[in-house]
Amino acid sequence: MLNKILKREREKRKYIRYPAEVSIEYKISGENIERNDYTKNISFGGLCFQAQSYIEPGTVIILKFPTINLHSEVVGEIVWCSEKKETTEIGVKFRNENDAYRARIIEEICYLKNYQKQIFEKKNEN
């Protein structure tokens, strides 16, 4: 039974997710309203972010990462939306290889930022 669950999770998760709290700006395709929130995690294939409200799966979304690169946009598609008590979590998959490549660079930056934070915290403990 446990093997079946683990196998299903491996099939479900194609890419490793890295926890990363990075500021994002996004807008739904066809709308002019730009919103600001934070990522929860990111991978080569997509990301999860915390939003103010529900966004319908299948919706095309344009993402920017202002603290990392002001001029780069990534196009994604909402694949799931989960409403929690105080926030809503949104799952996004990147729509093409170019966007996935950009996200890979962002993922690496997030990894480095997390690593730097850990090193900084260890230095302050000593």
Give the total residue count for the chain. 126
Q: What is the pLDDT of residues 103-124, one digit of tens each?
A: 666 667 777 777 777 887 887 8
The Cα–Cα gap between 18 and 1 comes to 28
pLDDT at 10: 47
* Average pLDDT for the chain: 80
CATH number of 14-125: 2.40.10.220
Query: In sequence order, what DSSP letters do the residues of 18-44 get, joined into one string?
Result: EE---EEEEEETT----EEEEEEEE-S
pLDDT at 95: 84
Q: In the block, which residue shows the tokens 């090193």? A: 119
- Residues whose CB is less than 8 angstroms from the CB of residue 86 and which lie 6 or more positions away in sequence, other chains included: none
pTM: 0.72
The mean per-residue pLDDT over the stretch 33-61 comes to: 91
